[in-house]
Structure 1
Amino acid sequence: MQSGLFKANAYVIKSRLQLFSNFTYALNNPERGDQFQQFENRVTAGVNASRLWFGKLGQRDTETEVGAQVRFDRLDPITLANSEARQIYETVRTDTVSETSAALYVRNTTEWLPWLRSIAGLRADQFWYGVSSDNPANSGNGTDHIVSPKFSVVMLPADQTEVFLNWGRGYHSNDVRGATTTIDPSTGEPTQKVNVLVPATGYEIGVRTRRLAPGLQLSASLWQLDIGSELVFSGDSGTTEPSRPSRRRGIELAGYYAPPDGPLAGLILDADAALSRARFRDHEDIGDYIPESIQTTVSAGVSYNTGRWSVGARARYFSPRPLIEDNSVRSASSFLVNLKVGYRVLKDVRVFAEVLNVFGKRVNDIDYYYASLLKGETSPLNADASPAGINDHHIHPAEPRTFRVGVLWNF
């Protein structure tokens, strides 16, 4: 189209998932263990369409996009069952779930002055859902909706330098079964329903520039994110569960350098760092730290391409982080370095060799802290005489020093 662009796509996805897990070992069932199976048979279908117009607002260039998205999910069935050695011996719950979501959005970008432009947007989401459970008390139908405005201002105070301010509202969605469940299928106890859509509001101010040197890009930003309900990992179920409202604040720094010519042409240097503070907004005696909220991350890399050859190295650092709400238990930090060398055999074919975890660091990619129990262990008891388990770290170690070779074919 001469005045803009129209885009549309449609999709249908058929998937089946069978997942066996055991996060607490033998805490709930000392004889058979705590292994469980999650199974879902899902069909997803959707349509996306948008229309983009280029135009003028007086003498000012403007760009407007209007779009719509529709998605339907059918899960029939979705089940949770207790298992031993991957053999089902008890069904905990089985459901049939239908969920439809529709969204309309509009976005406008206007250049008010050569050094000032704005981006404004508005999105409306509507959800319809139905759950048919093997326990009628956990069945139901419902709807939820949310409106998400967004606004950005970009200013150019100097050549190749931008100052930006962003504000916007978004959301994350919870499992719709949580909106209809009134009885915990594992314990038989009453449980509280959760909202399907949880709002989040973000704020950001920053600057980026390319004027200091050819090929050099630098950026820095301050941000804040308020979430209506944080998702926190639960060791009992091995999933994330809705929790308390939270606030995250931080600063992000980034640099990228790629000399366009001269003796350093082909060299690329990049580095990113993020520092953040995350807390629950409602004070509770258990503590206000958000488990697993990382406080400092740093990533840096260097690569060089000359002729058919390419070499590179990348380093990553994760700081210690709180594992429980009172910050009395923390993870260890981790630092990893990877190396890679490649050679272009043909135009579209490259061979490469890489070394992961060059220094052979014994660090963890995942670190949780919760109660579990091994078979044969003696458990302390809760007030109701049920096993309390033993609180400990549950980890997934990073790969040891690993050598890997491969062939990359682009076509």
Structure 2
Amino acid sequence: MVAAQEEKLMGVITDNQGNSVAEAHVYALNQQTSTKTNFKGEFSIKVESTDTLYVQSERFTDAKIVVNPSKKVSITLLQKNYTLDEVILTQKENPLEVISGYDVAINPVKSSQEVLRLVPGLFIAQHAGGGKAEQIFLRGFDIDHGTDIALDVDGIPVNMVSHAHGQGYSDLHFVIPETIQNIDFGKGPHKADRGNFATAGYASMNTIDQVYTNTFKQEIGEFNTFRTLGLFGINGEKSESHTVLSAEYLSSNGAFESPQNFNRVNVFGKFTIPLSASDQLTLTSSYFSSEWDASGQIPVRAVQDGTISRFGAIDDTEGGETSRFNTSIQYRTFLADDSMLKASAYYSAYEFGLYSNFTFFLNNPEVGDQIFQQENRNLFGGKLSWQKDLLILDVDAEFTAGIGVRSDYVEDSELSETINRTTINLRRSLGDIRETNSFSYVKLAYKPSKFTITPSLRLDYFSNTYTNALEDNITATQQKAMLNPKLSIGYAANPQTDLFLKAGTGFHSNDTRVVVAQSGQTILPRAYGVDAGLNLKPTPKLFINSTLWYLGLDQEFVYVGDEGVVEPSGRTRRFGADLTTRYQLSEVLFLDSDFTYSHARSLEAEDGEDYIPLAPQFAASGGLTLKAFKNFSGSIRSRLLTDRPADESNTIKADGYFITDFTANYTWKRFELGVIVENIFDREWNEAQFLTNSRLQNEAVAVEEIHFTPGNPINVRTRLTYTF
């Protein structure tokens, strides 16, 4: 048998408007080689004389084409309804990457709070008036506001280290959902380019760099909810430079008896220009401002005895305000046919102020326990990465190396006792924080035959400095470095089956104030993770991902709200299973489901006393989506979170819930009329829950019990969209 002849094929990829498609992945399926297009959409690749090219791009549907190496090939990618049979199980470091673009296309995000729900198995809970960052649950973690998931948008970190309200605090409300192009997500501490907080997982959002149709949208709903959005693109005819502009305003009083008076403004701009066929520059800026009132978490006993209703408040003077300005610059260049350099730099100016009352009259029977947390932060950073295709022992390989730095300068990080948001009763802490994280990593993806073997190594260095303004501006500094190895092995058994095994270590940093107080003893506790599973397409219309996983941590962190610090709580172990399915029932009907089981225990407690409070045990979500059927589209989606332990002995439980939402849209010419119905079965459910020791004003002694924020009752929003 004579082997097929290997030749080099030249080509160009454009969209249906003639614009170049940069950084599209091009695979030669027979030859098992791959490359990317440059910023002019050009590529060259080794193929067999009877080979088939498969092309993937984040913004367009995939394409297959049989090639003739003697001719330069031109490929046009189309924007149309995504179909699951176009998803091919190519070898990837992240097993779920093959469906991330599919999920965004099938179920676009309706609000900034839903951004994270694109990550299979991730749940969120809001418990402070709509303006505070959500509580996050993933892989047996109550992540609080971000202690164990690394989040970024266009390379700008979302997690706030040593934040006034809690380590890793992650507020994604500055993201306008219509500007999301795709979301790269993964679970476990397995990727070398993901560092701090990437233990349970990571989620990286990328915004659109081109708008084909301008959009104006208005939305109104119950609880005096109003939202307006404009999304505009400025592109010359067949222009290779693109400008995206967007603005959003949202207001709502919420379902509570005391109006939330929630207001949010978002402005976004992005400019992308290819400097040549090999060079591209992107400038991005955004501004976000939000303010709100809140009813806080209320005790079960006050509702049961009729003191307040489920939507009442013990202290309705809670609330806050926050703002963030982001700007970044990204430069990418192809140094040669097989080498690419990416450089980025960013700056964020951030302000935050939050009034809370967790314990009511426990510590201050006369004036109450309200606290105020605030900070003013400047965040600087940058990253440089180099990627090169190699040939090692006649086997394709890809080498990646990167370096970067992140520096946080926090002024007036404060925790104070306050009265009715007007009077400072006592300052508990006040000071300035300087925290710098420098890092580097290397990764080699070696691709012998059907295998992809990816060893990697990451080095992080931290410098933590705290100046205590309440103790004569005493300054203390600690430094520490950490090395984390990782290994990923993928095996493409056939075009329908992809097996993977991943193992590695990662970390989440501790709060600078705790680090310096403990002389650096617990600055970088390590996490140990293993994932094993498969991607499977038993039929062209069905995708299945199944994963068994383990995650151990040298130390957990518990945020103590009324003290304003993060405390260590010992070693833990989690293991479980994830199951993700995507099924296309017809050309316009799509079914999806995600299931996750987690077993979480402390390793430093006796049996029966080793439960991890609020760690979810079983969660599921899914839905049925209709796309573009005779001008109609819509979806019905449900999410289930079962009961979970609220204390270490599992004698007190946080109630689970099952909630179903519905959306429907009708398109006529340039108009789209939509309706969103939340909690269509009007279930009574608790969104956020905590076991808290509190005392009401008429009580002689404190009571420890569940405190909760009620989830929304059934409510309806309508929206009108005009495109031009």
Q: TM-score, normalised by structure 1?
A: 0.89
1:59 matched residue in structure 2: 394
2:536 matched residue in structure 1: 209
Q: Is the 8 A contact 1:131 1:180 kept in 2?
A: yes
Task: Determine which of 692, 709, 712 is the counterpart of 1:399.
Answer: 712
2:527 matched residue in structure 1: 200
Measure how far apart 1:285 and its partner are.
7.8
How far apart, in 1, do the equivalents of 2:515 and 2:648 lie?
26
1:313 matched residue in structure 2: 636
How far apart, in 2, do the equivalents of 1:46 and 1:248 lie?
33
Matched, 1:124 2:459: yes
Q: Is the 8 A contact 1:71 1:100 kept in 2?
A: yes
How far apart, in 2, do the equivalents of 1:148 and 1:409 lie?
50
Q: What code does the residue aligned with 2:613 have? A: P
Identify the structure with the greater strand proportion. Answer: 1
Task: Determine which of 485, 490, 493 is the counterpart of 1:149.
Answer: 485
How far apart, in 2, do the equivalents of 1:410 and 1:244 lie?
54
Per-residue CA deviations over 1:335-380 (Å, capped at 9, x if unaligned) read 0000001233456x6432110000011011111112111112111x
How far apart, in 2, do the equivalents of 1:241 and 1:343 lie?
51
- Any idea what SS the aligned residue of 2:699 has? coil
Q: What code does the residue aligned with 1:201 have? A: Y
Task: Determine which of 7, 30, 40 is the counterpart of 2:375.
Answer: 40
Matched, 1:246 2:568: no
Q: Is the 8 A contact 1:23 1:237 kept in 2?
A: no
- Any idea what SS the aligned residue of 2:513 has? helix
How far apart, in 2, do the equivalents of 1:131 and 1:338 lie?
46
1:386 matched residue in structure 2: none
Q: What code does the residue aligned with 1:281 have? A: L
1:390 matched residue in structure 2: 703
1:2-401 equivalent positions in 2, closer than 5 A: 2-87=337-422, 88-113=424-449, 115-133=450-468, 134-135=470-471, 139-181=475-517, 195-210=522-537, 212-234=538-560, 236-237=562-563, 241-259=567-585, 264-284=586-606, 287-305=609-627, 306-345=629-668, 350-379=672-701, 389-401=702-714
Q: Is the 8 A contact 2:595 2:621 kept in 1?
A: yes
Q: TM-score, normalised by structure 2?
A: 0.51
Measure how far apart 1:323 and its partner are.
0.3
How far apart, in 2, do the equivalents of 1:325 and 1:150 lie?
32
- Greater Cα offset, 132-141 or 85-94: 132-141
Q: What code does the residue aligned with 1:251 have? A: A
- Any idea what SS the aligned residue of 1:23 has? coil
- Greater Cα offset, 310-319 or 336-345: 336-345
1:186 matched residue in structure 2: none
Measure how far apart 1:193 and its partner are.
7.0
- Greater Cα offset, 195-204 or 228-237: 228-237
Per-residue CA deviations over 1:216-238 (Å, capped at 9, x if unaligned) read 10111110000111123546447
Q: Label 1:228 to 1:82 Cα distance change in 2 as closer, same or farther (>3 A).
A: same
Q: What code does the residue aligned with 1:300 have? A: G
Q: Is the 8 A contact 2:378 2:408 kept in 1?
A: yes
Q: Is the 8 A contact 1:235 1:371 kept in 2?
A: no
Measure how far apart 1:196 and its partner are.
1.9
- Greater Cα offset, 230-239 or 51-60: 230-239
Q: Label 1:274 to 1:286 Cα distance change in 2 as closer, same or farther (>3 A).
A: closer
Q: What code does the residue aligned with 1:173 have? A: S
How far apart, in 2, do the equivalents of 1:406 and 1:6 lie?
43
1:187 matched residue in structure 2: none
Q: Label 1:54 to 1:356 Cα distance change in 2 as closer, same or farther (>3 A).
A: same
Measure how far apart 1:32 and its partner are.
1.0
Q: What code does the residue aligned with 2:460 have? A: D
Kindly indicate whether structure 1 or structure 2 has the higher relative contact order, using CA contacts under 8 Å at least 6 residues apart.
2
Q: Label 1:235 to 1:19 Cα distance change in 2 as closer, same or farther (>3 A).
A: closer
Q: Is the 8 A contact 1:355 1:403 kept in 2?
A: yes
Q: Label 1:137 to 1:279 Cα distance change in 2 as closer, same or farther (>3 A).
A: farther
Measure how far apart 1:307 and its partner are.
4.0
2:229 matched residue in structure 1: none
Q: What code does the residue aligned with 1:91 have? A: R
Measure how far apart 1:162 and its partner are.
1.0
Q: Is the 8 A contact 2:511 2:565 kept in 1?
A: no
- Any idea what SS the aligned residue of 2:649 has? coil
RMSD of aligned Cα (Å): 2.0
Q: Label 1:124 to 1:407 Cα distance change in 2 as closer, same or farther (>3 A).
A: farther
Q: What code does the residue aligned with 1:131 have? A: Y
Identity value in percent: 29
Q: Is the 8 A contact 1:138 1:180 kept in 2?
A: no
How far apart, in 2, do the equivalents of 1:226 and 1:26 lie?
38
How far apart, in 2, do the equivalents of 1:110 and 1:337 lie?
45
- Any idea what SS the aligned residue of 1:197 has? coil
Measure how far apart 1:241 and its partner are.
3.5
How far apart, in 2, do the equivalents of 1:324 and 1:405 lie?
41
- Any idea what SS the aligned residue of 1:112 has? coil
Q: What code does the residue aligned with 1:196 have? A: I
- Any idea what SS the aligned residue of 1:178 has? helix
How far apart, in 2, do the equivalents of 1:283 and 1:41 lie?
39
Measure how far apart 1:58 and its partner are.
2.1
Note the residue ranges of structure 1 that are not aligned, 5 or more in a row: 183-191, 380-388
Q: Is the 8 A contact 1:24 1:235 kept in 2?
A: no
How far apart, in 1, do the equivalents of 2:656 and 2:459 lie?
41
2:300 matched residue in structure 1: none
